[in-house]
Amino acid sequence: MKASFWLTIPLALLLAACSGDIEPGRQQNEPAIITGLKTDVVTPLSQATAQTVVGTIESRDRAIISARTDGQVLRLAVKEGEEVAPGTLLAELGDHTASERLREAEAAISEARKNRDMAVARQKLADQTQQRFDRLFAAAAVTPQEMDKVTAEATIAKESLEAAEASLVRATAARDAAKTALSYTRITAPYAATVVRHEVQEGSTVLPGTPLVVLDRRDGWLVRLNIPESLYDAIAIGTVLDVEVPTLSLTLKGEVEELFPATDPRSRSSQAKVRLPGDAQLRSGLYARAFLHGESRDQLFIPRSALVLRGQLTGLYVVEDGILHYRLVKTGVLNNDRVEILSGLQSGETIVVKGVQQARHGAKVGE
């Protein structure tokens, strides 16, 4: 009886505490109030649409300098990446055969000159002799047989001089050819360029046609773009494009100078060459992208600071009747510090643009 009494007392107290009524339309826990947030109303921005195509920077003139004679690479005179002026020595080959041919040709010229001088002297003597015999023959002082002999000797002397002069010409040509062959052992830059790479090493044996050095001409650059077949009709020769080189944080104006009609069946794209202005920062192989501008349309751009990343999901906080609501959105292109919203947000809605780290779904926005 006593135990039942003590059990009844806590139960009565609990019933008394729960006897109060909760007023209709009110919650027991009020939402949190967050202050320090900056909000902004989303407004559309009318601008031309842009499609992005990617490409690679190339030199307008890439040259592969090859050997024109056989020999051994004695020296590579330039380094990869070095800028060279016209006539700069690039490489030197060892060709002992060319040197020997040049010495032989010089000796042949010397001998040919001596033979020509002797032939000149013989012809001079033969001409003088014939003139004397012409006078004697007119005076009937010599026989016709003697006159014929002198005339034949003059003719032979003339032909000998012509042969000596021809021999000298051949020797001179052989000397010039030997000099040209010897000049092939010194490889020089044909124009102002940048050394891209070496194709051989010092000590290598090369034959005519063996690539030695690759050069990129410095006075012009282009970007080779891969144009999807769906955008091929959007450009034409002469079209001016904005070309961005992200690595250099550089944007240039380029003009389409060539279109290739053939389409790659694997990538479903064609190629286009876009001429770029000269810039000392450019170099072959850099990644580039160009923008094809279309018709104007309304786009929603918001500050990047308004985005909330949760794993692979992108969202933001929308303010409705003073309450924060987390909403997923789909983003588009980046434009400096602003990002395009493709879906999930409407024009005229209010969003949190600063302080999203402290925002919470369902919380109230304080003053």
Strand 89-94 with 71-76, pairing? antiparallel
3-class state of residue 63 by DSSP: strand
DSSP string, 83-123: EE-TT-EEEEEE-HHHHHHHHHHHHHHHHHHHHHHHHHHHH
- Band of residue 230 on the pLDDT scale cut at 50, 70, 90: confident
Q: Is the model's pLDDT at 172 over the cut of 50?
A: yes
Model pTM score: 0.46
Phi and psi angles of residue 324, each rounded to the nearest 5 degrees, phi first: -80, 135
Please give the structure tokens belonging to residue 23. Answer: 């007023």
Rounded to an integer, what distance in angstroms lies between the CA atom of residue 180 and that of residue 95?
12
For the 67-94+185-217 domain, the top CATH level (class) is mainly beta
For residue 352, the tally of other CB atoms under 10 A from its CB is 23
Q: Region 150-161: what's the mean pLDDT?
A: 86
- Band of residue 22 on the pLDDT scale cut at 50, 70, 90: very low
DSSP string, 227-243: EEGGGGGG--TT-EEEE
End-to-end Cα separation, the chain, in angstroms: 62
Determine the pLDDT at residue 294.
62
- Band of residue 96 on the pLDDT scale cut at 50, 70, 90: low
Q: Is the model's pLDDT at 12 over the cut of 50?
A: no
Determine the pLDDT at residue 199.
92
Q: Is the model's pLDDT at 317 over the cut of 90?
A: yes
Rounded to an integer, what distance in angstroms lies between the CA atom of residue 232 and that of residue 268?
11
Q: What is the CATH number of domain 52-60+219-296?
A: 2.40.30.170
Q: Is the model's pLDDT at 21 over the cut of 90?
A: no
Which of 34, 21, 81, 38 shows the shortest CA–CA distance to 350? 38
Tell me, what DSSP letter sits at residue 30?
A: P
Domain 31-46+298-365, classified CATH 2.40.420.20, yes or no: yes
Rounded to an integer, what distance in angstroms lies between the CA atom of residue 165 and that of residue 172?
11
Judge contact between 272 and 259, C-beta under 8 A.
Answer: yes
The rounded percent of the chain whose pLDDT value lies above 90 is 27
Q: Is the model's pLDDT at 28 over the cut of 80?
A: no
- Band of residue 29 on the pLDDT scale cut at 50, 70, 90: low
Rounded to an integer, what distance in angstroms lies between the CA atom of residue 247 and that of residue 302?
25
